[in-house]
Amino acid sequence: MPEQRQGNGPPVNGNAAAGNAYTIDLPTFSRRLKDLYAHWREHKDEFWGSSDVLAIATPPPSEDLRYLKSSAVNVWLLGYEFPETIMVFGNKQIHFLCSQKKASLLDVVKSTAKEAVGVEVVMHVKAKSEDGTTKMDNVLHAVHVKSISDAYNTPVIGYIAREGPEGKLLEAWTKKIKDSGLQLSDITNGLSDLFAVKDQNELVNVKKAAHLTASAMKNFVVPKLEKVIDEEKKVTHSSLMDDTEKAILEPAKVKVKLKAENVDICYPPIFQSGGIFDLRPSATSNDDGLYYDSASAIICAIGSRYSSYCSNIARTFLIDSTQMQTKAYEVLLKAQEAAIGALIPGNKVNAVYQAALAVVDRDAPELVSNLTKSAGTGIGLEFRESGLILNAKNDKLLKPGMVFNVSLGFHNLQNETNKEKSRNFSLLLADTVIVTNDGRDVVTHLSSKALKDVAYSFNEEEEEEEEEELQVKAKSIGRDTMYSKTTLRSDNHEISREEKRRLHQEELARQKNEETARRLAGEETLTGNSRNAAKTSADVVAYKNVNDLPPPREMIIQVDQKNEAILLPIYGNLIPFHVATVKTVSSQQDTHRSWYIRIIFNVPGGPFTPTDAKNQGAIYLKEVSFRSKDPRHISEMVQVIKTLRRNFMARESERAERATLVTQEKLVLAGNKFKPVRLPDLWIRPTFGGRARKLSGTLEAHANGFRYSTTRQDERVDIMYGNIKHAFFQPAEKEMITLLHFHLHNHIMVGNKKTKDVQFYVEVMDVVQTLGGGKRSAYDPDEIEEEQRERDRKNKINMDFQSFVNRVNDIWSQPQFKGFDLEFDQPLRELGFHGVPYKSSAFIVPTSSCLVELVETPFLVITLSEIEIVNLERVGFGQKNCDMAIVFKDFKRDVMRIDSIPTSSLDGIKEWLDTTDIKYYESKVNLNWRQVLKTITDDPQKFIDDGGWEFLNLEGSDSSSGDSESDQGYEPSDAEPESDSEDEESDSESLVESEDDEEEDEDEESEEEKGKTWEELEKEASHADREIGNESDSEDERRRRKKNFGKSRAGPSSAASKRMKFR
């Protein structure tokens, strides 16, 4: 193994002072010099051996890998290693004895040292022809003089006793100070305590080194071993060591973007197998061949440095492991996790080893004697910081900023096998861990150590038996084996998909009944505003440890609903990200019919994102993109991720509809410096009213809200950002309009109308009527040109809207708007279905947080987080249509009904409801929900005692007929929900009307006059019964039913032809 690197300096810095190519970071030098003097003066007697002067002598460069305290001081204080340099720190002076070139580089610290700690820097330049003894006498004389002035008769010189002198200069210096008659004292403990707590810059270097180390293990070592074992190649431990070292020194090979000149190894990579194991850090890789027969173990340990800061990782791989090996590894993994869990500020260092020992003593007491005597050491500029050994004797306190190599193992374990090389084995696990203010951060987590990822089985018969056992076990544990719903788009059979959905719905039913019971009992409230209580992405954890990760099934994007995590396939592994870290997710199609999903994460330090003061040294992933040929899966992922994110924000901040807020804040107009974001030539709904000609206007985004205005002074609408509950952007696809829609918390006035829904739109196509009525050829150049113009106009309008939306999203990402949780949502047409929410058929589309219909008025906007349950009614009887009853958490609200949904859409609706964690039931009849909710609110305890919503599982049996309406075909609900934005004038009409619509209406009337079928007569009789009503109904209700009698809701078949013209 080529050993060509310096002890602690960066590889390129071995001759740092050879020229002036390097510059010293003066702010860092000033800060750390203050820390050195402060620590020295405060703990002079405790750690620094009562030293009055500190003498640090750095030896000449060496080709050996070594870690010296003197080199560490150089790098920590000056940024580079200065070989053959003597530094003497006193209360009034700092002396440097070095060559001319080093002195010229160190000259810049003179003024900084004076300002920082009030000391004078004195240079003693040694010529090449000199031995330096004269300069040493000058240094010692100056120390004597200053000590006399400071009332010290015989000053104590502190030096690093454990480092022997190397080279003529250091040998002469050691002889001088020993012959001087001055008292000498060891300062090793003081330097160790000084280096124990790292600052933010140091932690960044550690994290970069750890990322490189873990990436090398994951992206090089593991694939290399798998290939060797799979192809049964013969390789030696030493050859694996050389290959791994080369991979570390070229970070691009392991998919890491770090400069190669800043990278080095901590030690030659260690590979051990074949019964010969050494768990000490000084172990080496021998020339024996890699042994990977059954019941064998392979230990791999690698360490890398970035800018001189070390990191370490070790993994043990099991080949066709025995039961004893598996148990020992599981115990070791638990013990290491316990040790890592004990790394909490305020704990004693010995608590870390005691936590690991307690796990072994509890789960496998027979292995206690085989456990290593320590759980690792501190790590940083030195690979092993002697003052921070994680053993049972160290009673120092853990502090934020400390970094540890948590290394734990079992040595000399005996395996029951006939193979000699498999009989003796050892296990080792090591990770680099940073102690943080609120816990710890395992910075080498990228490389998995879960048993399923390190245990390899090459016995095909055993594999088949295990698969059969797993299948039986999966069936037995039922709902405990629920995987992420995003895997439903796999190659599983339909029965399997339905079974998973059923199991998930059972779990949702249990949770929903518990939640409803708490709310009805008064333990929960649906009101309140806790916007500022939301957690940041830095405060959430998807998985406490790697064992909680769900087992990987396919290398596709998956979502873990239970832990609110997104599992992304990165470099062959599923990497979890908490949904709180996601900023936006979007999808788009390229020209090759491939679909892309793009996920952008919250990254501190952006233009509108505050710096994360708690984790300044963290490395963040900004964005990631994936390509797929399956647009359905991409659309589902976008919808699921957005839904998860919305639900998380809603739950954490406990946001509720601000019904009590009436007075709106005043709009703050953008100043001359920052021009408002503008979108011109828009129409508004609801309209301003009046008989004057309608005018288009401009929408502007100002400091705290939107303003829409036309050329008329009285036509102006202000929408405050804080009053926006949901914002939607719907580009024109099959519709004739591109729109922005705002659903508000509180009503505002648009003209003389009170509304919670405000929409701004542009018609992407003009209505053109051909004169003469003659048919035009499909190849007519004018027709082709007209179609092309329409396409270009539609694309331009969509792009203008998209640009406006993106710029507004940037504004909403500013810190002052974080509490509003605003982002433009886009309806997902792939999940849409036809239905009748009000009086006419419409195409209803889900978004990540709502169920909407934004084209026809009155608008439909249902917030998913406000839904209690959904009941799918009239399911069965071989009918073509079914209904959806949406029950809200606020039982005072009327149940929202969407009628005449084609049964062909039923399975997609169930899948969507299940994906969004909404509990749904199915019944064969329409329920009288007004009476049901009245029964629940009158006696909540009886409702809870009777099992909550489980009465809906009767699926319309005879026992529920008393609470149901007639099941004779289609019937409208008992009460029509009223819309705040409904207008009796033109608002309920389509945006575009034509004479063809009138002709179709006349045709329909003429067909009705010809005669009525039995089904129509039966419906008419049913309507007559409903008109008579119950005795308890009021006269107003009877008049309303009589007024609405005969108003049939058009089915999807009749509406489709009309809407085709509209689109």
Q: Do 864 and 643 contact (CB within 8 A), yes or no?
A: yes
Q: Do 213 and 405 contact (CB within 8 A), yes or no?
A: no
Lookup: tokens for 167: 């080279």
As a whole number of angstroms, the distance between CA 744 and CA 1040 comes to: 29
Pairing of strands 183-186, 156-159: parallel
pLDDT at 706: 93
Q: Do 513 and 950 contact (CB within 8 A), yes or no?
A: yes
pLDDT at 700: 92
One-letter amino acid at 697 equals G
Please state at what angle helix 26-42 crosses helix 109-117, rounded to 10 degrees: 40
- Based on C-alpha coordinates, what's the Rg of the chain? 37
Dihedral (CA of 873, 874, 880, 883) sign: negative
| Cα 370 to Cα 314, 328, 332, 389, 392, distances in angstroms | 18, 11, 11, 19, 16
* Coil/strand/helix, residue 759: strand
How does pLDDT run across 726-757, given as a tens digit for each residue? 999 999 887 889 999 999 988 888 887 888 99
Residue among 860, 862, 884, 853 at smallest CA distance from 871: 884
As a whole number of angstroms, the distance between CA 220 and CA 419 comes to: 29
As a whole number of angstroms, the distance between CA 74 and CA 83 comes to: 9
CB neighbours of 163 closer than 8 A, spacing ≥ 6?
Answer: 57, 59, 68, 69, 70
CB neighbours of 530 closer than 8 A, spacing ≥ 6?
Answer: 653, 654, 655
Residue among 140, 143, 187 at smallest CA distance from 163: 187
pLDDT at 1031: 42
pLDDT at 1063: 29
Check: pTM over 0.75? Answer yes or no. no
Residue among 239, 548, 320, 303 at smallest CA distance from 432: 303
| CA atoms lying within 13 Å on the CB side of residue 682 | 26
Q: Find out whether the peptide bond into 400 is cis, omega within 30 degrees of 0.
A: no
As a whole number of angstroms, the distance between CA 613 and CA 249 comes to: 32
As a whole number of angstroms, the distance between CA 384 and CA 405 comes to: 8
CB neighbours of 49 closer than 8 A, spacing ≥ 6?
Answer: 156, 158, 185, 186, 187, 189, 190
Dihedral (CA of 361, 363, 369, 374) sign: negative
Q: State residue 429 phi and psi, 5-degree precision.
A: -135, 135
| Cα 25 to Cα 102, 108, 109, 201, 365, distances in angstroms | 15, 10, 9, 12, 53
Q: Do 620 and 604 contact (CB within 8 A), yes or no?
A: yes
Q: Do 804 and 682 contact (CB within 8 A), yes or no?
A: no
Q: Do 324 and 415 contact (CB within 8 A), yes or no?
A: yes
Summary mean pLDDT of the chain: 80
Q: Do 200 and 616 contact (CB within 8 A), yes or no?
A: yes
| Cα 272 to Cα 278, 405, 454, distances in angstroms | 8, 20, 15
- Tokens 């024996």 locate to 288
Q: Do 751 and 690 contact (CB within 8 A), yes or no?
A: yes
As a whole number of angstroms, the distance between CA 774 and CA 772 comes to: 6
Q: Find out whether the peptide bond into 686 is cis, omega within 30 degrees of 0.
A: yes
User: Which residues of the chain register pLDDT less than 70?
Assistant: 1-21, 147-153, 459-496, 522-539, 605-616, 650, 652-662, 672-673, 766-779, 877, 954-1019, 1022-1063
The length of the chain is: 1063
Residue among 43, 945, 978, 915 at smallest CA distance from 485: 915
Lookup: tokens for 835: 């239905």
In this structure, how many other beta carbons lie within 10 angstroms of the beta carbon of residue 914?
A: 21
One-letter amino acid at 231 equals E
